[in-house]
Amino acid sequence: MSSKKTLIAANWKMHKTVEEAVAFVGELRDAVGSPDDREVLLTPPFTALWAVRVAVSEAGFSLGAQNCHWEPQGAFTGEISPPMLKDVGCGYVLVGHSERRHIFGETDAMAQKKVAAVFREGMTPVLCIGETLEEREAGKTFDVVARQLQEGLGAVSKSDFPRVVVAYEPVWAIGTGKTATPAQAQEVHAFIRERLASHTDKSVANEVRILYGGSVKPDNVDRLMAEPDIDGLLVGGASLKASSFSRIVRYQIPGDVT
């Protein structure tokens, strides 16, 4: 494996006022400092991005957005463009989160356009992929993941591939309290890396960070992060409190005394 940094990302979804968001950053900084071996990414709601930008720059964390439109500007009421996100200080953008797909009807084709648009602005897309419970029970997990991966990254050049971040988030485990076992998560992560290698090569695929998302909590983080192809986490509910998220950031792989 490469020496890439672990990425621990917080997706606050539709939570936190500006004041609450800024206070959280301070609490998290006090709890975890600025870890050298792992990157901490916060994705607040659009309204808090500017204020959080100032706070994260002082704390040494990274800033991202939860969504974007694929056009740089235009008559798209209510949308936010990649240039706007770059201007406000974002380095990352979540693309194709399951809630965007299943609540708002976003498609693989839309995800592909968003990934390309994020890259054009020099930011990093975090492409979210994953199967529903029905798809898993029907034995379609790998088919769904392969399709979403191929379509979502269909416009990415080989030179950009090392900067891609993929988040595997089984839809059946998001906000349900159910979590894929470490073995289940590893099985899909290994499959994703193999698919990435088939599109590029093994060395490039090893540079891609593959995150797990789906009811990540302080009591399961250590076991998840012990798996060889899990390079980080996309955390939802447990990222809303600094006390729980700081424990996730400070995960300790069992048996690792370094």
Give the model's pLDDT for residue 58. 87
CA distance 10 to 201: 30
Q: 107 is in which domain, residue-wise?
A: 6-249
Query: Quick check: is 34 in a domain?
Result: yes
Is 236 annotated to bind a ligand? Reply is yes
What's the per-residue H, E or C state across 68-121? CCCCCCCCCCCCCCHHHHHHCCCCEEEECCHHHHHCCCCCHHHHHHHHHHHHHC
Query: Quick check: is 184 in a domain?
Result: yes
Output the pTM of the full model.
Answer: 0.95
Give the model's pLDDT for residue 256. 66
Which are the catalytic amino acids?
97, 169
Which residues have a Cβ under 8 Å from the Cβ of 105 and sit 6 or more positions away?
none
Mark the ranges of the chain whose per-residue pLDDT is less than 50.
Answer: 1, 257-258
- Please count the structural domains in the chain: 1
Output Rg (C-alpha) for the chain, integer angstroms: 17
Which residues have a Cβ under 8 Å from the Cβ of 49 and sit 6 or more positions away?
63, 65, 85, 88, 89, 90
Query: Quick check: is 64 in a domain?
Result: yes
CA distance 37 to 227: 17
Query: Quick check: is 33 in a domain?
Result: yes
Is 13 annotated to bind a ligand? Reply is yes
Give the model's pLDDT for residue 3. 63
Query: Quick check: is 255 in a domain?
Result: no
pLDDT tens per residue across span 157-173: 888 999 999 999 999 88
Give the model's pLDDT for residue 254. 78
Query: Quick check: is 185 in a domain?
Result: yes
Is 86 annotated to bind a ligand? Reply is no
Query: Quick check: is 258 in a domain?
Result: no
Query: Quick check: is 215 in a domain?
Result: yes
Is 64 annotated to bind a ligand? Reply is no
pLDDT tens per residue across span 3-26: 689 999 999 999 999 999 999 999
Q: For position 12, which CATH number holds?
A: 3.20.20.70
Is 12 annotated to bind a ligand? Reply is yes
The H or E element spanning position 165 is strand 165-168
